[in-house]
C-alpha cells in the first residue's frame, strides 16, 4: 500500500521529467481526491485543470503498470467537440505512466458497433455527455459498465448547472451514488457567482464533510477596448446592428493573425459577414461564418481551419462561446451588448491562449447608450462580479423521463429510488405525496386513480419493481431521451448536393418557390420543399431576406444591471472618468436638460404627450425581463384605479406604458403601486401568463414524453401519435389542472421567464427611493430607444368577447 504522499510523487514524476511544475491547486486537488474527497476545481481554461482531476485515478496502478478490469473514470463533458481533446490528454498521461489503459468516447456521434464494443469490453476511461449516460442507463447492461467506476468528473460544470442537462447530470450521479456511496465526484468550473451552491448541486446538499472547493487563483488578464464612434452626436440612439462602425473593425482584423467577431443573433451574424465582404473583398476565402443553424460539417470545417490558423476572421454567435481552444485567435470583437459579465469574459477568453498572454476584446456599441456598458463591463471584470448560474429545481419533466429510463433499464423500486432522489439538490424538497403522484402518473397515465383503461407503458412486478417489458415502448423512450428541445426545423440543402444547415419552419413558411434569401453567407433561391428538406440553389441576386431567429432577445443579468446603474449614477456625483463615459457627456447633458439624469436615490419617471398618445416611462435599469413583468404589473394596478388600456414596451433600461388617455401622474403614481405584496397573483393576472405558459409547455411536454417527435431519419413520422403541445396544454388546463407537469410550467414562467425574485427586489428598491417625475417636451435619449421598439404588447382587462369585437379577422396569410 502506497501512501498518499508517494502517490502524489508518482503522479507528479511525469511533470518534473517533462520540465513542468505542478501548480499548487493541482497538487491540492490530487491530495484531496486521493484522500477520498469529492469537490470542485475552479480554474480557467488552459491552466491545467484537466490533469488536476484526471491523474489521481492512475496513481495506484503506476508502480506495477496494472490495467484494472472495467470502467474506472467517467468524464462528462457538455460539449461533444471537447471529447477528442480530453481523450488526447488522457492518452498522453497513460503513455507517460507507461500504462496500457483504454480511452473511449461515447457521444451521439459514436457508431453502434463502437457502442456495443464499449459494453462488451469497457474502456478504463470513458468520455461522454449527460444524454449518452442516460441512454446507457436505459440499457439493461448498464450495471455491468458502471459498477467498477470509481470517479466521475463533470467538466464545464458551470455550463451544465443552469440547464436541465444539469438536472440529468444530478440524476445520473444520484443513481451511481445509490449503488456506490464511496464514489468520488469532481467538477471543473469556471468562475460563477454561486460556486458553493454549485458544489451542493453536484454532490447533493451538504451530506458529508468530505467535500472541498479548490480555487486555482489564476488571474487571466483581460483588456477591454471600445470601438468609438467619431462623433457621439451623430451616432444613433437606438438600433442593434452596429454596421456604421464596420470600417473600424477591418483594421482590427488586419492587425492580428486571427479575430473572432461575436454577434448576438444569427441574423446579425449573416449581415455582418455580408457587409464585411462587401467592404473588403480581399477577405474572401480567409473569413468564415459560424452559427448554430449552419450544418455540422461546415461548422467542423470552420473550427478546423481556425485551429490551423487558416482563417483571418470568423463572424460567429454564441455557437463559438465554448469548445476547443483556438491558439491563433488574438482579438475578439463583441458587436452589441453581451447582456452579461460572464458571457463577455467567456468570449474575451477565446483569445490570447499562450501562457501568460492577455485576452483582448473590443466592444462595439450598436447605439450610443451601449457605450456605458463597455465601461460597466470593465468595472465588473475588475471587481470580479460574475453572475450566478441558477440550478433548476423540481423539474418533474426530467424526473418522469428518468423514471422511464430506469424502468426501461432493468427497473426500479419505489423506496430505493425515492431515497436516491431526495439526496439530490433538484428534488430534495419533493414530498412523499408528490412522489406518489409521479408514480401514479407513470403507472396509470394519470395522477388520479381511475378505472382501468388501456393505458400501458410500465408494469409493476409482484416484488414491487417498476419495469418496462414492451420493446416498442423501450425503443420509443430511448429515442426521446434528452432535454434540449428545438423548434421544428427544416434542413437546407442544394438540389443536388450537400446539406448547408437548418432553418425554422416558420421562416420558410413566408416564402414561395423562386424567392431569394441569405443563409450561411450565400444568396440562395428557394426551389422546393421535399420531405424534411428545403431544397435551394445558389442565386446571383443581391437582395433577399435573412432568416431571423427566435431567442435573440436576451435580457441584462442582475450583475450587469447593477454595474450599469453604478455607472449612470457617476454623472450625478460628478465622477465621470472613463473615456466611454466622457464621450457620452453631451448625451447625458441632453438627458439632464430635457428631463433628468437619475441620481442614486431616485427613480426617474418621464411623462409626455406625442401624436401617438400619452407616454409614461420609468427607468429602473433592471433588465428587459424584469421590466416586462414590472410594466405589466404597473399597468394592471393602474387599470384597477381607473379605466384605461395600455400598450407596453421595454428594454434593459426601462419600460413604457402608452395610452390614449391622459392621467394625473403626480397624483396617481404612488409608492403603493410598487408594493411587492400579492406580486405573484397580480403578475399572473396582468400578463397573459396562459399564453406564455402555453409556449413554455412545449419543452416540458417533449421532455416528459407527452410529445413523441418521431424516429430520426424516418421521413414518415408516426402521424397518428403526433399532436401539438398547445392542444395537450389545453386538455391539461381543462381536465387535470393539478397535474405536476402543468404546474411546473407556471413555476418556470415565474422563475425563469419573468424572474419573480428580481421583480420583487426591484420593487423593494423603488419603495426606498424617491420617485422623480419629469415632463419633457419631447422624447429623451433614454426614452427614444424604448419608444421605437416594434415589439409591443397590449394589455387589457376586457373580456374575450369584447376583445373579439375589436379585432379583425386575418384575411390573408
Q: Interface residues with other proteins (CB under 8 A)?
A: 441-442, 445-446, 448, 450, 453-457, 473, 476, 647, 705-706, 708, 720-721, 723-724, 727-728, 731-732, 734-736, 739, 791-794, 799-801, 803-804, 806-813
CB 448 → other proteins: shortest distance, Å? 8
CA 798 to chain CA centroid, Å, is 36
CB 151 → other proteins: shortest distance, Å? 37
Identify which of residues 20 and 455 has a Cβ nearer to other proteins in the complex.
455
Identify which of residues 236 and 710 has a Cβ nearer to other proteins in the complex.
710
Identify which of residues 550 and 731 has a Cβ nearer to other proteins in the complex.
731
Strands 313-316 and 259-262, bridge-based pairing: parallel
Nearest to 272 by CA among 255, 291, 289: 289
CB 803 → other proteins: shortest distance, Å? 7
Nearest to 263 by CA among 369, 352, 366: 366
CB 441 → other proteins: shortest distance, Å? 6
User: Which grid coordinates are listed for 522?
Assistant: 450565400
Contact 186, 41 (CB under 8 A): yes
Contact 426, 715 (CB under 8 A): no
CB 714 → other proteins: shortest distance, Å? 16
Identify which of residues 562 and 789 has a Cβ nearer to other proteins in the complex.
789
User: Which grid coordinates are listed for 680?
Assistant: 405573484
CB 724 → other proteins: shortest distance, Å? 7
CB 414 → other proteins: shortest distance, Å? 18
CB 488 → other proteins: shortest distance, Å? 15
Identify which of residues 9 and 796 has a Cβ nearer to other proteins in the complex.
796
CB 630 → other proteins: shortest distance, Å? 18
CB 736 → other proteins: shortest distance, Å? 4
Sequence-ordered strand ranges (E) for 263-394: 287-290, 313-316, 331-335, 359-364
**Burial grade of 461 (CB within 10 A; 0-12, 13-18, 19 or more):** exposed
Nearest to 390 by CA among 74, 733, 748: 748
Sheet of 516-519: strands edge to edge?
Answer: 499-504, 489-494, 533-538, 522-530, 516-519
Q: What angle do CA 335, 336, 339 make, to 5 degrees?
A: 125
Identify which of residues 255 and 724 has a Cβ nearer to other proteins in the complex.
724
Identify which of residues 636 and 739 has a Cβ nearer to other proteins in the complex.
739
Identify which of residues 727 and 788 has a Cβ nearer to other proteins in the complex.
727
Identify which of residues 217 and 475 has a Cβ nearer to other proteins in the complex.
475
CB 700 → other proteins: shortest distance, Å? 13
User: Which grid coordinates are listed for 574?
Assistant: 460628478
- Indicate left, alpha or beta for 205 from its phi (over 0: left) and psi (-120 to 50: alpha): beta
Contact 491, 533 (CB under 8 A): yes
557/625 Cα distance (integer angstroms): 9
CB 310 → other proteins: shortest distance, Å? 46
CB 21 → other proteins: shortest distance, Å? 58
**Please, which contacts does 43-49 make with residues 24 or more away whose CB atoms are closer than 8 Å?**
43/188, 43/190, 43/215, 43/216, 43/218, 44/190, 44/191, 44/216, 44/218, 44/220, 44/349, 45/190, 45/325, 45/349, 46/325, 46/353, 46/355, 47/23, 47/216, 47/218, 48/23, 49/188, 49/216
290/350 Cα distance (integer angstroms): 15
CB 136 → other proteins: shortest distance, Å? 22
Cα R_g (the chain), whole angstroms: 28
Identify which of residues 484 and 727 has a Cβ nearer to other proteins in the complex.
727
Identify which of residues 216 and 706 has a Cβ nearer to other proteins in the complex.
706
User: Which grid coordinates are listed for 430?
Assistant: 419533493
Q: Give the helix ranges, DSSP H, for 261-307.
A: 266-279, 296-307
Contact 7, 59 (CB under 8 A): yes
Q: DSSP per residue over 412-433, as a string?
A: EEHHHHHHHHTTSSTTTT--HH
CB 788 → other proteins: shortest distance, Å? 15
Tell me how far CA of residue 767 lies from CA of 57, 475, 572, 596, 603, in angstroms. 56, 56, 20, 20, 10
Contact 172, 142 (CB under 8 A): no
Tell me the backbone φ, ψ of residue 220, rounded to 5 degrees: -90, 130
Identify which of residues 112 and 452 has a Cβ nearer to other proteins in the complex.
452
Identify which of residues 390 and 796 has a Cβ nearer to other proteins in the complex.
796
Identify which of residues 778 and 794 has a Cβ nearer to other proteins in the complex.
794
**Burial grade of 497 (CB within 10 A; 0-12, 13-18, 19 or more):** exposed
Identify which of residues 530 and 792 has a Cβ nearer to other proteins in the complex.
792
CB 528 → other proteins: shortest distance, Å? 23
Contact 421, 375 (CB under 8 A): no
Contact 229, 275 (CB under 8 A): no
User: Which grid coordinates are listed for 592?
Assistant: 439632464
Identify which of residues 1 and 791 has a Cβ nearer to other proteins in the complex.
791
501/524 Cα distance (integer angstroms): 12
Amino acid at each position: 500500500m502506497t501512501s498518499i504522499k508517494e502517490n502524489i510523487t508518482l503522479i507528479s514524476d511525469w511533470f518534473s521529467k517533462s520540465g513542468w511544475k505542478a501548480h499548487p491547486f493541482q497538487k491540492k486537488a490530487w491530495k484531496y481526491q486521493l484522500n477520498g474527497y469529492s469537490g470542485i476545481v475552479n480554474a480557467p481554461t488552459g491552466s491545467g485543470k484537466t490533469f488536476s482531476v484526471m491523474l489521481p485515478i492512475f496513481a495506484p496502478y503506476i508502480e506495477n503498470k496494472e490495467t484494472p478490469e472495467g470502467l474506472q473514470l467517467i468524464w462528462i463533458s457538455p460539449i461533444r467537440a471537447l471529447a477528442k481533446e480530453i481523450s488526447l490528454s488522457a492518452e498522453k498521461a497513460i503513455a507517460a505512466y507507461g500504462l496500457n489503459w483504454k480511452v473511449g468516447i461515447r457521444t451521439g456521434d459514436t457508431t453502434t458497433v463502437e457502442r456495443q464494443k464499449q459494453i462488451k469490453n469497457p474502456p478504463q476511461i470513458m468520455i461522454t455527455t449527460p444524454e449518452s449516460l442516460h441512454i446507457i442507463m436505459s440499457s439493461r447492461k448498464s450495471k455491468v459498465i458502471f459498477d467498477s467506476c470509481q470517479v466521475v468528473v463533470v467538466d464545464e460544470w458551470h455550463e451544465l448547472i443552469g440547464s436541465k442537462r444539469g438536472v440529468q447530470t444530478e440524476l445520473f450521479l444520484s443513481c451511481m451514488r445509490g449503488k456506490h456511496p464511496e464514489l468520488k465526484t469532481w467538477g471543473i468550473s469556471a468562475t460563477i457567482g454561486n460556486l458553493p451552491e454549485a458544489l451542493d448541486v453536484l454532490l447533493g446538499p451538504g451530506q458529508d464533510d468530505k467535500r472541498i472547493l479548490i480555487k486555482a487563483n489564476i488571474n487571466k488578464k483581460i483588456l477591454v477596448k471600445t470601438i468609438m464612434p467619431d462623433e457621439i452626436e451623430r451616432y444613433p440612439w437606438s438600433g442593434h446592428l452596429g454596421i456604421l462602425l464596420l470600417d473600424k473593425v477591418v483594421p482590427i482584423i488586419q492587425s492580428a493573425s486571427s479575430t473572432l467577431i461575436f454577434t448576438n443573433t444569427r441574423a446579425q451574424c449573416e449581415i455582418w459577414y455580408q457587409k464585411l465582404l462587401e467592404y473588403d473583398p480581399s477577405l474572401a476565402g480567409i473569413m468564415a461564418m459560424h452559427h448554430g443553424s449552419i450544418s455540422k460539417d461546415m461548422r467542423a470545417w470552420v473550427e478546423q481551419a481556425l485551429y490551423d490558423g487558416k482563417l483571418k476572421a470568423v463572424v460567429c454567435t454564441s455557437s463559438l462561446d465554448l469548445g476547443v481552444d483556438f491558439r491563433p485567435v488574438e482579438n475578439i470583437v463583441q458587436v452589441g451588448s453581451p447582456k452579461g459579465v460572464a458571457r463577455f469574459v467567456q468570449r474575451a477568453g477565446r483569445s490570447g491562449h499562450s501562457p501568460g498572454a492577455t485576452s483582448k476584446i473590443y466592444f462595439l456599441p450598436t447605439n450610443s447608450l451601449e457605450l456605458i456598458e463597455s465601461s460597466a463591463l470593465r468595472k465588473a471584470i475588475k471587481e470580479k462580479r460574475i453572475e450566478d448560474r441558477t440550478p433548476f429545481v423540481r423539474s418533474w419533466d426530467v424526473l418522469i423521463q428518468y423514471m422511464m429510463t430506469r424502468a426501461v433499464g432493468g427497473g426500479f423500486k419505489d423506496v430505493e429510488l425515492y431515497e436516491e432522489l431526495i439526496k439530490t439538490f433538484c428534488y430534495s424538497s419533493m414530498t412523499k405525496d408528490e412522489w406518489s403522484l409521479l408514480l401514479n402518473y407513470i403507472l396509470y397515465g394519470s395522477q388520479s386513480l381511475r378505472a382501468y383503461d388501456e393505458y400501458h407503458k410500465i408494469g409493476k412486478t409482484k416484488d414491487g419493481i417498476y419495469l418496462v417489458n414492451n420493446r416498442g415502448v423501450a425503443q420509443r423512450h430511448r429515442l426521446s431521451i434528452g432535454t434540449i428541445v428545438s423548434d421544428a426545423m427544416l434542413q437546407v440543402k442544394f438540389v443536388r448536393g450537400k446539406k448547408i444547415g437548418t432553418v425554422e419552419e416558420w421562416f420558410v413558411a413566408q416564402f414561395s418557390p423562386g424567392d431569394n434569401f441569405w443563409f450561411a453567407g450565400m444568396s440562395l433561391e428557394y426551389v422546393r420543399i421535399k420531405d424534411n428538406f428545403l431544397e435551394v440553389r445558389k442565386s446571383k441576386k443581391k437582395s433577399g431576406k435573412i432568416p431571423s431567429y427566435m431567442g435573440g432577445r436576451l435580457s441584462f443579468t442582475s450583475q450587469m444591471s447593477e454595474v450599469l446603474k453604478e455607472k449612470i449614477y457617476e454623472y450625478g456625483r460628478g465622477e465621470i472618468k472613463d473615456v466611454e463615459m466622457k464621450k457620452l457627456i453631451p448625451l447625458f447633458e441632453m438627458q439632464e436638460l430635457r428631463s433628468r439624469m437619475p441620481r442614486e436615490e431616485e427613480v426617474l419617471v418621464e411623462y409626455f404627450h406625442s401624436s401617438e398618445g400619452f407616454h409614461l416611462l420609468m427607468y429602473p435599469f433592471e433588465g428587459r425581463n424584469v421590466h416586462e413583468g414590472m410594466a405589466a404589473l404597473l399597468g394592471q394596478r393602474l387599470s384597477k384605479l381607473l379605466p384605461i388600456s395600455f400598450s407596453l414596451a421595454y428594454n434593459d433600461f426601462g419600460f413604457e406604458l402608452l395610452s390614449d388617455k391622459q392621467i394625473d401622474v403626480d397624483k396617481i403614481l404612488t409608492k403603493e403601486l410598487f408594493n411587492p405584496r400579492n406580486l405573484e397573483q397580480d403578475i399572473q393576472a396582468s400578463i397573459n401568463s396562459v399564453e406564455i405558459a402555453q409556449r413554455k409547455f412545449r419543452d416540458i411536454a417533449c421532455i416528459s414524453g407527452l410529445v413523441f417527435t418521431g424516429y430520426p431519419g424516418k421521413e414518415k413520422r408516426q402521424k397518428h401519435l403526433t399532436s401539438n403541445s398547445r392542444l395537450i396544454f389545453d386538455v391539461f388546463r381543462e381536465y387535470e389542472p393539478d397535474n405536476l407537469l402543468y404546474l411546473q410550467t407556471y413555476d418556470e414562467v415565474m422563475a425563469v421567464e419573468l424572474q419573480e425574485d428580481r421583480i420583487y427586489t426591484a420593487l423593494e428598491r423603488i419603495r426606498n427611493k424617491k420617485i422623480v417625475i419629469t415632463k419633457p417636451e419631447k422624447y429623451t435619449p433614454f426614452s427614444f430607444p424604448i419608444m421605437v421598439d416594434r415589439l409591443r404588447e397590449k394589455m387589457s382587462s376586457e373580456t374575450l368577447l369584447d376583445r373579439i369585437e375589436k379585432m379583425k379577422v386575418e384575411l390573408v396569410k
